[in-house]
């Protein structure tokens, strides 16, 4: 597992190393939390201003992982793996029915000045408030992916980009989510070039 902070630390180390020729991010993630994701993507973009950064999708690169890899200079994906799942999800577990059956009652008093502090997903107004949170967060996600990929917000938010769907291999390249179908070995060989060179000039972030 690689945390957002670990990724940022590794990128900082690579940039400050002074003798590296490039960075390969080996990606396999179904996604993650919003908190810290934008900053991790920004760190990838910042590193790319000093060294070429290639994202090699060897598993999935979905949701938060898509956000991060979109900031790389180049995204390669193997033929059978997935990238996509643009957008955000708010998950809320409502245990009130179960608690009622168990004889448990929770009384919550909200300050009069802040009636919107605890939106109730069981009500239309509460669900609308939570929906707005998801939509506003997704708008940032879409805008940043569009900027990193050199595309318009309209394209990234359109059916072309899947609107939350995932794409496999070549379909991801055709849609604009990735740049080529390749393998990890081929990407590394292309970066290294001369067969006599070692991989010491590359940082792999898994």
Domain that holds residue 132: 4-205
CATH number for the domain spanning 14: value is 3.90.226.10
Residues counted in the chain: 206
Cβ within 8 Å of residue 116, ≥6 positions away: 129
Averaged over 144-166, what is the pLDDT? 97
Number of domains in the chain: 1
Which residues, listed in sequence order, are joined to residue 25 by a DSSP beta bridge?
Answer: 55, 205
Q: pLDDT tier at 199 (50, 70, 90 boundaries)? A: very low
Q: What is the pLDDT of residues 71-111, one digit of tens each?
A: 999 999 999 999 999 999 999 898 999 999 999 998 889 99
CA–CA distance, 169 with 178 (Å, rounded to integer): 9
Count of alpha carbons within 13 angstroms of residue 25, beta-carbon side: 38
With 80 as the cut, is the pLDDT of residue 206 above it? no
State the pTM of this model.
0.87
CA–CA distance, 10 with 24 (Å, rounded to integer): 11
Inter-residue contact 39 to 4 (CB < 8 Å): yes
Percent of the chain past pLDDT 90, that is, above it, reads 78
């Amino acid at each position: 597992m690689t945390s957002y902070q670990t990724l940022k630390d590794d990128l900082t180390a690579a940039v400050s190393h002074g003798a590296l020729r490039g960075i390969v991010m080996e990606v396999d993630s179904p996604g993650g939390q919003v908190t810290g994701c934008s900053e991790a993507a920004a760190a990838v973009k910042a590193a790319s201003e000093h060294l070429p950064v290639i994202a090699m999708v060897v598993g999935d690169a979905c949701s938060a992982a898509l956000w991060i890899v979109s900031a790389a200079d180049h995204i390669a994906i193997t033929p059978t793996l997935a990238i996509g799942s643009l957008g955000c999800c708010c998950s809320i577990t409502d245990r009130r029915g179960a608690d009622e059956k168990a004889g448990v009652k929770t009384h919550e008093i909200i300050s009069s000045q802040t009636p919107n502090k605890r939106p109730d997903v069981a009500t239309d107004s509460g669900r609308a408030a939570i929906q707005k949170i998801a939509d506003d967060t997704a708008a940032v996600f879409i805008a940043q992916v569009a900027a990193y990929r050199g595309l318009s917000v309209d394209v990234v938010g359109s059916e072309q980009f899947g609107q939350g769907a995932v794409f496999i291999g070549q379909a991801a390249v055709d849609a604009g989510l990735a740049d080529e179908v390749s393998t990890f070995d081929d990407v590394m060989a292309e970066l290294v070039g001369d067969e006599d060179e070692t991989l010491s000039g590359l940082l792999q972030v898994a």
